[in-house]
Amino acid sequence: MSEVTKTREKLVDAAIDYLNTKGSEKISVKKLIKLANVGYGTFYNHFDSIEAIQIEALNKTVKNTLINFKLDVKKGRRLRIHFVFGLAERY
């Protein structure tokens, strides 16, 4: 994985963590770059806006949830799904 890809993933993961703990109302570029330990320029090299990273965080969360759901179903597990800040999360 390239450094550019790692940095983008670090930003997306920071957004997912923030959204899961604080919700979407108070999210900001300033808060995300602090969590990801990157600068403003780095953020804007990867995303045009806070909304763009929220969309990518949503997509990653849904994709991972569906992959995990599929794996658990193959193993015969029953699952309950609930929603956190509008994103599916299994427990």
Q: pLDDT of 51-91, one tens digit each? A: 999 999 988 988 877 766 666 666 666 655 554 444 444 43
pLDDT at 48 over 70: yes
The phi, psi pair for 70, rounded to 5°, reads -60, -45
- Give residue 42's Cα distance to chain centre: 17
Fold exhibited by the domain 3-90: Tetracycline Repressor; domain 2 (1.10.357)
- How crowded is residue 36: how many other Cβ atoms within 10 Å of its Cβ? 21
Domain boundaries, the chain: 3-90
What gap in Å lies between CA 19 and CA 13, rounded to an integer?
Answer: 10
Whether the predicted model's global pTM rises above the 0.85 cut: no
Alpha helices in 1-91 (DSSP H): 3-22, 29-36, 40-46, 50-74
